[in-house]
Structure 1
């Protein structure tokens, strides 16, 4: 996807500032707000994604005065709708699915009138392994191939480790945390599995959820990710994390998930200032001073609702704790893009296929069927090394490679697409990747408590700071509510 980028100074360096996006018009772009000046509010929220909006909503409901500073010209963060270039179909460019135990995002969807649709999950799905397609019934999350018997014990061990009194949201308190945080997910599973197919299965059980290679994150991080796939009354499970029916991919939002944050933002009105990337946060004498491109504002408290992988790019005065600095350096964003191809009819269903693929295909390694205004969609994730290779490739090359990949999976009819959509999160300057920030080995045990520990008047939100459903929309909402409660307690 071609993008027009301008260069802007950012904390002594430069970042690509998003301009026009060719072939994928922005949905719900916000106005350039007239920012209030001269008044010290109770709280400034940095970031207008779901976590920041949930924090602002909770604060205002309790009577606190709030200002939200959002770098983009829209609300939603990593929850974003785009339009296809020919038909103008609304497509989910970011977070899309919702499933059982994700009660916080479900409540917001009901409140703002955003209905859900069931993700198509009939027939067979495909496990793609080094050029070979293995069909499997769509109602099981892993293929029934001989290598599953070898990979099974590794995944069963992971599930056991994530269930055995796991301190959800505080993995550094696990009795075996130091060891689990000293190895990668690849090292964790390689101790049990040895065949290439079994290792591919163990890898996709992780990469399908977080879009990084198995050697790019701590084993302790992913065990917490599994444990977080539930709620206070339902322990997290790998099955719930990976499944469609009964799992995290069970439903999608009719009209796109971004309708929720866009409607939340509308209800907050002039409390949100767009085009306001924050450059520095300083504090003294009980007042925080937040400097952004839209002006400088003051507040008693600040909530930074950003991924820890990028929140460290703000300048803090008098400075962050050593633990918080170590934490931000130990987190990094996954490399990811979403590609969607629109079709007049779901031809894959005629072949008894669900539209779902998992495996080591390239450039797309995971697919789902989706919907948009009466058109059926094959949506695929481009992740990790495949995404890094295509980050700066022309749109025509990406479309060609993705469509040919769909041909591999679903047959030559996949070439008969009527439109498409692409969004490169790696090149989105205020996210720099997705779907979630992950931690390198050694980060959580050394610096984990700093994930949510306030620094001066600053509290931290963002889906990465959630206890349950970290990395998901529900986790984002949970984190915003939790940070708001912390601030309200201190304001009283």
Structure 2
């Protein structure tokens, strides 16, 4: 790393400037640094972790963003172990609650049991969806069989074409809200199929023994914090990138009054947030379209703490699915020490984010009373986070690509643009959209940049 002065401004020079201090950016920085490259990570937020964000309820840290890891998520689990973080098995024992169509039902297992006819219909629709998933090429989704036709309709239109019964559609709506932060009618079928295939199938994506197997005991953001601490002054927060220019010798990255010069830039921002950066030369249409058609979904989370997990005493798991009120799904995320009981509620931002904190709390608690009984009316603490209202890089958990957007723009997710490389959970093939995919994408991009540096200088070992 070196510093110079150009036109009165201090310019910091490194081999690679990385935009974004989420898991992709931090993993790339770690890998490049280990190979001898000088790097700087520029993060616009006042924290690291991206869509992993910790909060506090009743004195314990909890996840307000990305939460679970699968047993097959080797990259994020390895990273967590290397920085000293541990895992806690997701609680899954007991009966689940389904409140749908005005009726409260109890069920066990991953798929809610609405009725014999409903179970048959859900199995039929899921089988049809899995058949399409099996043909998806996650590394080049545009080359999948009938890709253009699959991308021309929304997930909701496909459910209509397959005559999904109301309860089946309601349950698929819950899946869509959790995974893409939108309703089925707002996201491309091809995009949905790509993410399901990347996650190892529907059962693995949704099941406790699959995608929701474990939580990071110290919270997922703590992994990012510890990795950033290892990188030290190579990570700068409160440094939003506003402009990136490039020429035949390198790139110049501008953030307010700060200027950074590098041989290469690695951008890990979500596609929608590329609109916040001015590129010179301008992005081609195929790249620029990502910002408008791969919009971030919206999802809010609430954490509600009780003196103890009272639902377990009554044989309930704490998991519930409902089609009424702001909280459409709940999960037991109580600490493993047997003390506090903590429920996590996934909340639909419509009619939730715009309310005051007091109203949001009141509505969520009342819903928990309906689902789990009067003991839910007396929480000891409450916290929530509305991702769509963040002032910097709003939205989550994943992009909700509109129909036809995948065929038009997905190819550009990983193609370098001159001296700019791309990474992030959205650019991953396998495990796209999750922390594991973000880590893998960052490490892969680091290898590509290192290869280009070797060609240029022959200097990296």
TM above 0.5, one fold?
yes
Query: Offset at 1:142?
Result: 4.0
For 1:378, the equivalent position in structure 2 comes to 343
For 2:287, the equivalent position in structure 1 comes to 324
For 1:150, the equivalent position in structure 2 comes to 121
For 1:168, the equivalent position in structure 2 comes to 138
For 1:78, the equivalent position in structure 2 comes to 51
Q: For 1:194 and 1:175, locate their aligned partners in 2 and report how far apart those are by CA, in whole Å.
A: 23
Query: Offset at 1:452?
Result: 1.1
Could you say if the C-alpha distance between residues 391 and 409 of structure 1 is closer, same or farther in structure 2, counting changes exceeding 3 Å? same
Q: Does 1:112 align with 2:83?
A: yes
Could you say if the C-alpha distance between residues 228 and 189 of structure 1 is closer, same or farther in structure 2, counting changes exceeding 3 Å? same
Cα contact 1:168–1:228 (8 A) shared by 2: yes
- SS in structure 1 at match of 2:358: helix
For 2:236, the equivalent position in structure 1 comes to 273
Q: Does 1:249 align with 2:212?
A: yes
For 1:7, the equivalent position in structure 2 comes to none
Cα contact 2:179–2:398 (8 A) shared by 1: no
Cα contact 2:67–2:220 (8 A) shared by 1: yes
Name the count of aligned residue pairs.
445
For 2:254, the equivalent position in structure 1 comes to 291
Q: For 1:195 and 1:448, locate their aligned partners in 2 and report how far apart those are by CA, in whole Å.
A: 32
Cα contact 2:11–2:258 (8 A) shared by 1: no
Question: Cα RMSD between the aligned structures?
Answer: 1.7
Q: Deviations over 1:4-42 (max 9, x none)?
A: xxxxxxxxxxxxxxxxxxxxxxxxxxxxxxx99544211
**Mapping for residues 371-450 of structure 1, pairs under 5 Å:** 371-372=334-335, 374-383=339-348, 387-450=349-412
Q: Deviations over 1:123-178 (max 9, x none)?
A: 111222123222111x33443633121122121111111113x2013211112111
The 4+ residue runs of structure 1 with deviation greater than 6 A are none
**Mapping for residues 124-143 of structure 1, pairs under 5 Å:** 124-137=95-108, 139-143=109-113
Q: For 1:155 and 1:309, locate their aligned partners in 2 and report how far apart those are by CA, in whole Å.
A: 30
For 1:19, the equivalent position in structure 2 comes to none
- Gap regions ≥5 residues in structure 2: 5-9, 455-461
Q: Deviations over 1:184-218 (max 9, x none)?
A: 11111222234321221232333332221011100
Query: Offset at 1:294?
Result: 5.7
- Gap regions ≥5 residues in structure 1: 1-34, 230-235
Q: For 1:286 and 1:132, locate their aligned partners in 2 and report how far apart those are by CA, in whole Å.
A: 66
Q: For 1:79 and 1:205, locate their aligned partners in 2 and report how far apart those are by CA, in whole Å.
A: 20
Cα contact 1:79–1:93 (8 A) shared by 2: yes
Cα contact 1:425–1:431 (8 A) shared by 2: no
Cα contact 2:309–2:334 (8 A) shared by 1: no
* Aligned partner of 1:227 among 197, 210, 214: 197
For 1:455, the equivalent position in structure 2 comes to 417
TM normalised by structure 2 equals 0.93
- SS in structure 2 at match of 1:105: helix
Query: Offset at 1:238?
Result: 0.7
Cα contact 1:337–1:426 (8 A) shared by 2: yes
TM normalised by structure 1 equals 0.87
* Aligned partner of 2:160 among 186, 190, 208: 190
Cα contact 1:44–1:301 (8 A) shared by 2: yes
